[in-house]
Amino acid sequence: MSAALSFAPAPRDPARSFQDMILTLHDFWSANGCVILQPYDMRMGAGTFHTATTLRALGPEPWNAAFVQPCRRPTDGRYGENPNRLQHYYQYQVILKPSPSDIQELYLQSLAAIGIDPLAHDIRFVEDDWESPTLGAWGLGWEVWCDGMEVTQFTYFQQMGGFDCKPVAGELTYGLERLAMYIQGVDNVYDLAFNTAGVTYGDVFLENERQMSKWNFEVADTETLFEGFRRAEAECLRSLEAGVPIAAYEQAIEASHLFNLLQARGVISVQERASYMGRVRDLARSSCEAYAEKMTPEWQAKYPGWSLV
């Protein structure tokens, strides 16, 4: 190969570049046997909604994956004016099934890899149990503190879609912007260095935050959103009947996000809120259940004696 075509990547600089921090996490988890996935191509409120987490947490087969998932939280929008709050931000998700016995050590190594020295910074595992009624899921774990700041949610899934996790998966959710702000020593998220060539997080996202906050809170057509919700709900149920639960699950995610937008528009009353949440929950749980039931024969063939319930 001629020298002109050869490429040697520059050393990662996670302490001075948001993207290098992400790439370092990819390197780390890839080296530890994870499939490095790309984000799910739908709007969702948390990385846990990615099928690589929810659906893959079901069943007996081992599954190790890591990925960045953009998260949309319409009501957290602040028009780009708050240094800590965004309506769109990134989570880094790692899912390890079954949970390895050295999962805490692996996690701490990943922090060291992005430049957090545990003798310079006070790392603590503080009780924080996780529950998602929407997904019929819960788990026990911690929020991980770094000098008093929550940087990761660490959960051992016990149930998903109403089923016991057999085996249990460990889930790590890193808040990427917070972690980067901490590592880079920056007080305003928009001041984060996105790379080492002078591009900031603000260069990439500030205008998006301004416009999307406005759209979420003021512009989005509520009739379209209500209609979208109804259609997603109907399509979810149709997909369930047609025996394609993954497609049904996508519609449940869609309905969940449309509900969040309706909330941001302030058009759902307190009384209606519970009812909408119940509808989303039914869709998500039915999809998880249908998926688990559809897959069970295959799982049982590979794991004789394994049972869903």
Partner 1 sequence: MADFLLELRCEEIPARMQPKAKEDLARLFGEALAKAGLQAEAIEAFATPRRLALIAKGLPVATTAVSEETKGPKVGAPPQALEGFLRKVGLAAEQLVERDGVYFAVVEKPGRETAEVLAEAVPAIIRAFPWPKSMRWGAASLTTESLRWVRPLSGIIALLDGEVVPFEVDGIASGRTTMGHRFHHSGPVEIADAATYVETLRAAHVIVHFSERCRLIREGAEKVAAEAGLTLVADEGLVIENAGLTEWPVPLLGRFDEAFLDVPPEVIQLTARVNQKYFVCEDAQGRLANAFVCTANIDPIDASVVVDGNRKVLAARLSDARFFWEQDQKTPLAVHAEKLARITFHEKLGTVADKVERVAKLARWLCEEGIVAGDPALAEQAARLCKADLVTEMVGEFPELQGLMGGYYAAKEGLPQEVSDAIRDHYKPVGQGDDVPTAPVTVAVSLADKLDTLRSFFAIDEKPTGSKDPFALRRAALGIIRIITENGLRMGVAEGDLLDFFADRLKVQQREAGVRHDLIDAVFALGGEDDLVRLLARVHALQAFVTTEDGTNLLAGYKRAANILKKEGFAATEGAQTLSYTPEPAEKALIDALDAAAPRAAEAVEAERFADAMAALATLRAPIDRFFEEVTVNAEEAEKRSSRLALLGRFRDAVHRVADFSRIEG
Residue with tokens 């989005």: 220
CA 10 from centroid of its chain's CA atoms: 29
Check binding of 104 to partner 1 (CB under 8 A).
yes
Residue 24 backbone phi and psi in degrees, to 5:
-65, -40
Q: Which of residues 153-172 bind partner 1 (CB under 8 A)?
A: 156, 158, 164-168, 170
Say if residues 287 and 240 touch (Cβ distance below 8 Å).
yes
Check binding of 98 to partner 1 (CB under 8 A).
yes
How many Å apart are CA 81 and CA 68, to the nearest integer? 25
CB atoms inside a 10 Å sphere around CB 43: 18
With the CA atoms of 41, 47, 51 and 53 taken in that order, what torsion angle do they form, in degrees rounded to the nearest 10?
Answer: 150
Minimal distance in Å, beta carbon 48 to partner 1?
17
The residue from 64, 69, 93, 99 that contacts partner 1 (CB under 8 A) is: 99
Instruction: Write the binding mask 56 to 75 for partner 1: x where contact by CB under 8 A, - elsewhere.
Output: ----x---------------
Nearer to partner 1, 142 or 259 (CB): 142
The residue from 8, 9, 187, 297 that contacts partner 1 (CB under 8 A) is: 187
**SS3 assignment, position 287:** helix
Check binding of 109 to partner 1 (CB under 8 A).
no
Check binding of 188 to partner 1 (CB under 8 A).
no
Check binding of 308 to partner 1 (CB under 8 A).
no
Minimal distance in Å, beta carbon 195 to partner 1?
24
How many Å apart are CA 124 and CA 189, to the nearest integer? 24
Check binding of 41 to partner 1 (CB under 8 A).
no
Check binding of 77 to partner 1 (CB under 8 A).
no
CA distances from 9 to 12, 13, 123, 195 (A): 8, 12, 31, 14
The residue from 31, 36, 81, 147 that contacts partner 1 (CB under 8 A) is: 147
The residue from 30, 31, 36, 118 that contacts partner 1 (CB under 8 A) is: 118
Residue 46 backbone phi and psi in degrees, to 5:
-160, 155
Residue with tokens 């990943």: 110
Check binding of 182 to partner 1 (CB under 8 A).
yes
Minimal distance in Å, beta carbon 157 to partner 1?
10
- Regarding beta strands 130-132 and 137-146, do their DSSP bridges make them parallel or antiparallel, or are they unpaired? antiparallel
- Please give the structure tokens belonging to residue 295: 């897959």
Check binding of 238 to partner 1 (CB under 8 A).
no
Check binding of 100 to partner 1 (CB under 8 A).
yes
- Please give the structure tokens belonging to residue 97: 């099934």
Nearer to partner 1, 244 or 308 (CB): 308
Nearer to partner 1, 183 or 236 (CB): 183
Say if residues 250 and 232 touch (Cβ distance below 8 Å).
no
CA distances from 299 to 57, 103, 291, 296, 308 (A): 13, 25, 12, 5, 9
Check binding of 304 to partner 1 (CB under 8 A).
no
With CB under 8 A as the contact rule, which of the stretches 10-18, 134-142, 224-232, 241-249 interacts with partner 1?
Answer: 134-142
Q: Which residues bind partner 1 (CB under 8 A)?
A: 60, 84, 98-101, 104, 108, 117-127, 129, 139-140, 142, 146-149, 156, 158, 164-168, 170, 182, 187, 269-271, 303, 306
